[in-house]
Amino acid sequence: MKDLYAELGIDEQIYSFGEEALKDLKERFEKIDETAEYNQLKVVSAMQECRVSEACLLGTTGYGYNDIGRDTLEEVYAKIFKTEAALVRPQITCGTHALALALMSNLRPGDELLSPVGKPYDTLEEVIGIRPSRGSLAEYGISYRQVDFLSNGEFDLEGIREAINEKTRLVTIQRSKGYEMRKTLSVERIGELIAFIKGIKEDVICLVDNCYGEFVQRIEPSQVGADIVVGSLIKNPGGGLAPIGGYLAGKKECIENAAVRLTSPGLGKEVGASLDVLRSLYQGLFLAPTVTAAALKGAVFAANLYQKLGYTAVPDAAEERYDIIQSIRLEKPEALMAFCKGIQAAAPVDGFVTPEPWDMPGYDAQVIMAAGAFVSGSSIELSADGPMKEPYAVYFQGGLTFPHAKLGMLKSLQELKNAGILKLS
């Protein structure tokens, strides 16, 4: 094994450091596998209950009327997320699109959107209009209010109470951290926040950005009061096989609003051909619990490696996990670039290229991204990225298998060592 790692550019010192870190993780990995088993059974049960058949794996063209595979897949998602309805479509291009669809279809001019968990992910700033952009919510007369976390990381309950008013129509809760060093929210904490908000204004719509969190726990935010949960199929629920797509699951009225916005008034969910992607969407969903488990193990391994070296890891090496993202404060731009170079060098696709920072649409600073993926941009596959600004934190996620995630981590350490940034005693 050591010789094979050496052929892949991992020296004996880095290899031994990784093996030493793995010795303490057996119990953690077993717990992750137990959750994966629970969620695997949940997915199989939903597929059987919805009578998924071979005919469901075939696609449609044109208008997509009477697409049995598409409609059944949406029933499966609704069963898994314990919701009244779901919208699962390849026409939803990404997670940001899914979120924009949920917001724009359920807000009206004069309404106010509230984020009680601080600044949303960078790409939503232009959707909301925090950064002026054509077609934003602000252009349609929808205002925005934000309440930041307290300095101790807790919800600012009094601030939230004061922010909710007669115009507050929808509250958006981002489960994952985005490009922030805050803690990811557990489903239980999300449920507590929703209960508090509904206690102030019962009819407010609570939306949860569920990206990177699906199948990490045994329950989803829709089971603790969320009216809509939203995510991307090229993250956890696509299992690495979905080539495109997004989902919304929630109350029937909210989902129908989104369907009308996605297609057209009068058409809604009735149209939208699935083409040839249904087999990948079903099989990816089937694999999603175990693929998510592999990514979680990679994140735990990464935190343990880098924390032993003195870096700040969020979550830290011992914390419970509520999404697949691991952030590490690298403090220096050259360290961030070396880390991403190592992840790219571990990729099965484009492993021979070197990532460089670039002006990525939707961000306020240059971003460096490492992703040699079978599905372009898929962040359930081994990938890492970060904005080129202080504290030069990298956000690592994915790994369809743990051995691949492990290789990525060792390659990142190797590149830091090769650059003279990291010295192992």
**14 and 70 within one domain:** no
Cis before 315? omega within 30: yes
**119 and 190 within one domain:** yes
**144 and 271 within one domain:** yes
pLDDT per residue as tens digits for the range 10-66: 999 999 999 999 999 999 999 999 999 999 999 999 999 999 999 999 999 999 999
**88 and 207 within one domain:** yes
Instruction: Report the CATH number at residue 400.
Output: 3.90.1150.60
Take residue 26 and report the two structure tokens written for it.
């057996």
Take residue 131 and report the two structure tokens written for it.
């950064």
At a CB cut-off of 8 Å and minimum separation 6, what does 181 contact?
312, 314, 327, 329, 391, 393
Number of domains in the chain: 2
pLDDT > 90: what percent of the chain? 95
pLDDT per residue as tens digits for the range 273-295: 999 999 999 999 999 999 999 99
Instruction: Assess if residue 230 is contained within a domain.
Output: yes
Measured CA to CA in angstroms, residue 78 lies from 27, 46, 405 at distances of: 33, 9, 31
Instruction: Assess if residue 71 is contained within a domain.
Output: yes
**268 and 321 within one domain:** no
Instruction: Assess if residue 45 is contained within a domain.
Output: no
**326 and 294 within one domain:** yes
**272 and 305 within one domain:** no
Instruction: Assess if residue 232 is contained within a domain.
Output: yes
**294 and 274 within one domain:** no
pLDDT of residue 299: 97
- pLDDT of 181 > 80? The answer is no
Mean pLDDT of the residues in the chain: 96
Q: Which domain holds residue 217?
A: 50-285
Instruction: Assess if residue 327 is contained within a domain.
Output: yes
**296 and 247 within one domain:** no
Tell me the C-alpha distance between 288 and 273, whole Å: 24
pLDDT (average), residues 248-255: 98
pTM recorded for the entire structure: 0.95
Q: Is the distance from CB of 86 to CB of 248 less than 8 angstroms?
A: yes
Which one of 229, 256, 285 terminates a domain?
285
- Which 3-state string (H, E, C) describes 304-335? HHHHHCCCEEECCCCCCCCCCCEEEECCCHHH
What pLDDT band is residue 152 in, cutting at 50, 70 and 90?
Answer: very high
pLDDT (average), residues 324-340: 96
Measured CA to CA in angstroms, residue 421 lies from 170, 281, 316, 344, 405 at distances of: 46, 42, 21, 18, 22
Tell me the C-alpha distance between 254 and 248, whole Å: 9
**Phi/psi of residue 395, each to 5°?**
-120, 110
Which one of 285, 305, 324 terminates a domain?
285
**161 and 195 within one domain:** yes
- pLDDT of 166 > 80? The answer is yes
pLDDT (average), residues 146-166: 96
Which one of 285, 315, 345 terminates a domain?
285
Instruction: Report the CATH number at residue 220.
Output: 3.40.640.10
Chain centre to alpha carbon of residue 174: 10
Instruction: Assess if residue 264 is contained within a domain.
Output: yes
pLDDT per residue as tens digits for the range 189-236: 999 999 999 999 999 999 999 999 999 999 999 999 999 999 999 999
**Phi/psi of residue 160, each to 5°?**
-65, -45
What pLDDT band is residue 360 in, cutting at 50, 70 and 90?
Answer: confident
Instruction: Assess if residue 376 is contained within a domain.
Output: yes
**403 and 323 within one domain:** yes
Q: Tokens 């119990």 — which residue? A: 27
Instruction: Assess if residue 423 is contained within a domain.
Output: no
**325 and 226 within one domain:** no
